[in-house]
C-alpha cells in the first residue's frame, strides 16, 4: 500500500530513535524534579518536545539533501522515497501541534519551545555548516529538553545537571559526526571544525569534550545529589563507552568506524537516561 510506505519513510525521516530519546529526556527530567510518572503535564511536555524534535530532524534533512546524496544516499530524501514538498508539509504540521501543546502548558514552556524550534531551524538552514556553532546549537537544544521537563513540574533547577551531561555528550558526538561527514560537507561548501582543522585536531577536541564529560558525571555523586546506583550505571554504562570511543578514534577513524561509533553513542544515551532515572 502506497500510503503505508509513505508513512514509513516519513517516520524514518523524523529519526524515531532520536524522537524517543527526546521524549524520555523530558519525561525523566520531570520525574527527577518530583513529578508523578504519568502526570498529564509531564507527558504533554514530552510529547510537545518530541514533535518539535521530529520536525527539526526533517528540516535538517531537507537542507542537507545535496550533502546526503554523497554521505547518506539511502536516506528518504536523497533516495527519492519522500519528496521535499512532503517533508516541508509534515515539518510545519509537527511544529504546529508541538507548539499548540506547549501553549496549553503555560507561557514559560511555550517560550522554550519557540526558542528551540527557531534554533533548530537556523541550525538546519545554515549553522550546521559553520565551525562549532552548529554543534553547540544542537547540544544546547538537547540540554534544554531536560530543563523543559523539569519546568513542566515547576522546578527547572532539577534539570541542570542532566542538561549539562546532555550538552557535553551531544557536543562530542556532533563533532564526531562532522568528522564522519567531512567529505560531503566540503563538497557542498560546508566548513565544519573537521573540515577546517583536520582529523587529528578534531579527535583531540572530541577527547577533551569527553574527558570533561566523564569528570562532570562524577560530580553529582560527590555532592550527594545522586546515589551509588547512579554512579555504577554512569561509570560502567556511559563513561566506559565514551572512553572507548575517544580512544578508538586515535586507532581507527575511517567512515565505517565513525558511523558505528556515532550509533553506539546514540544507544549509550539510553543508558545515560537509565542512570539518571
Residues 141-187 have pLDDT tens digits of 999 999 999 999 888 888 899 999 999 999 999 999 989 888 777 77
Q: What is the pLDDT of residue 3?
A: 67
Q: What is the pLDDT of residue 74?
A: 81
Q: In this predicted model, what pLDDT tens digit does every residue of 220-232 receive, in sequence order? A: 999 998 889 999 9
Task: Give the closest residue to 17 by CA, choosing from 272, 261, 263, 274.
Answer: 263
Q: What would the grid cell of residue 127 be?
A: 549553522
Q: Which residues of 220-246 are buried (b: 16+ CB within 10 A; e: fewer)?
A: bbeeeebeeebbebbbeebbebbbebb
pLDDT at 214 exceeding the cut of 90 = yes
Report in angstroms the alpha-carbon separations of 71 from 124, 153, 189, 274.
Answer: 16, 41, 14, 32
Q: In this predicted model, what pLDDT tens digit does every residue of 23-79 receive, in sequence order? A: 999 999 998 887 666 788 999 999 999 999 999 999 998 888 877 787 778 888 888
d(CA 124, CA 262): 19
Q: In this predicted model, what pLDDT tens digit does every residue of 204-213 receive, in sequence order? A: 999 999 999 9
Helices (H), the chain: 2-14, 16-32, 40-63, 65-71, 84-105, 107-125, 133-151, 160-180, 182-187, 193-222, 228-233, 240-251, 255-276
Q: What would the grid cell of residue 208 be?
A: 577533551
d(CA 84, CA 105): 32
pLDDT at 119 exceeding the cut of 80 = yes
Q: What is the pLDDT of residue 1?
A: 60
Average pLDDT, the chain: 90
Instruction: Tell me the whole-structure pTM to 2 decimals.
Output: 0.90
Task: Give the closest residue to 263 by CA, choosing from 199, 180, 146.
Answer: 180
- State which of 2-11, 29-38, 151-160, 241-250 shows the largest mean pLDDT: 241-250
Q: What is the pLDDT of residue 75?
A: 83
Q: What would the grid cell of residue 133 be?
A: 556553532
Neighbours of 69 (CB within 10 A): 16
Are 102 and 111 within 8 A, CB to CB? no
Q: What is the pLDDT of residue 55?
A: 94
d(CA 103, CA 187): 42
Q: What would the grid cell of residue 220 be?
A: 553529582
Identify the structural domains of the chain with CATH numbers, from first to last.
Answer: 2-276 (1.10.357.140)
Q: What is the pLDDT of residue 253?
A: 87
pLDDT at 10 exceeding the cut of 90 = no
Task: Give the closest residue to 160 by CA, choosing from 172, 144, 141.
Answer: 144
Q: What is the pLDDT of residue 115?
A: 96
pLDDT at 6 exceeding the cut of 70 = yes
Mean pLDDT value of segment 235-245: 95
Amino acid at each position: 500500500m502506497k500510503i503505508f510506505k509513505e508513512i514509513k519513510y516519513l517516520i524514518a525521516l523524523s529519526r524515531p530513535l532520536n524522537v524517543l530519546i527526546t521524549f524520555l529526556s523530558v519525561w525523566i527530567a520531570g520525574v527527577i524534579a518530583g513529578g508523578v510518572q504519568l502526570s498529564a503535564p509531564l507527558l504533554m511536555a514530552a510529547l510537545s518536545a518530541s514533535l518539535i524534535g521530529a520536525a527539526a530532524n526533517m528540516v535538517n534533512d531537507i537542507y542537507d539533501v545535496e550533502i546526503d546524496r554523497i554521505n547518506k544516499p539511502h536516506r528518504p530524501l536523497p533516495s527519492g522515497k519522500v519528496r521535499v514538498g512532503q517533508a516541508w508539509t509534515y515539518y510545519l504540521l509537527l511544529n504546529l501541534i508541538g507548539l499548540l501543546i506547549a501553549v496549553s502548558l503555560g507561557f514559560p514552556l511555550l517560550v522554550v519551545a519557540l526558542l528551540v524550534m527557531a534554533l533548530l531551524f537556523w541550525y538546519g538552514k545554515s549553522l550546521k555548516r559553520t565551525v562549532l556553532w552548529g554543534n553547540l546549537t544542537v547540544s544546547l537544544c538537547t540540554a534544554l529538553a531536560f530543563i523543559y521537563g523539569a519546568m513542566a513540574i515547576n522546578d527547572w533547577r532539577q534539570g541542570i545537571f542532566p542538561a549539562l551531561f546532555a550538552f557535553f555528550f551531544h557536543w562530542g558526538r556532533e563533532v564526531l559526526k562532522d568528522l564522519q561527514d567531512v567529505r560531503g560537507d566540503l563538497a557542498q561548501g560546508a566548513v565544519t571544525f573537521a573540515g577546517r582543522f583536520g582529523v587529528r585536531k578534531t579527535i583531540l577536541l572530541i577527547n577533551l569534550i569527553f574527558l570533561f564529560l566523564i569528570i562532570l558525571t562524577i560530580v553529582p555523586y560527590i555532592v550527594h545529589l545522586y546515589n551509588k546506583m547512579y554512579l555504577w550505571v554512569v561509570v560502567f554504562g556511559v563513561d566506559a563507552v565514551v572512553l572507548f570511543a575517544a580512544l578508538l578514534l586515535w586507532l581507527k577513524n575511517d567512515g565505517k568506524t565513525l558511523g558505528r561509533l556515532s550509533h553506539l553513542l546514540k544507544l549509550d544515551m539510553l543508558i545515560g537516561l537509565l542512570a539518571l532515572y
